[in-house]
């Protein structure tokens, strides 16, 4: 996993956490669910990168 990809994934996860917290604090369910979706996308991308790296080492 390149550092650039890792940073992008981390930024997406962080943005998702922020949106989730902001939506929860304001009672905005749409913003809250949008944040959860962004977190899941970032985590899936990061997991995919780790799998790809594991196969590259073989």
Residue-level pLDDT at 29 = 96
d(CA 31, CA 38): 11
- Kindly state the average pLDDT of the residues 44-53: 90
Check: CB of residue 28 under 8 Å from CB of residue 54. Answer: no
CB neighbour class for 28 (10 Å; exposed up to 12, middle 13-18, buried from 19): middle
Domain range list for the chain:
3-56
Decide: pTM greater than 0.75: yes
Residue-level pLDDT at 39 = 97
């Amino acid at each position: 996993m390149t550092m650039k990809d890792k940073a992008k994934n981390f930024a997406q996860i962080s943005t998702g956490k922020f949106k989730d917290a902001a939506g929860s604090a304001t009672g905005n369910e749409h913003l809250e669910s949008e944040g959860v979706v962004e977190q899941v996308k970032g985590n899936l991308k990061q997991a995919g990168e780790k799998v790809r790296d594991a196969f590259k080492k073989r």
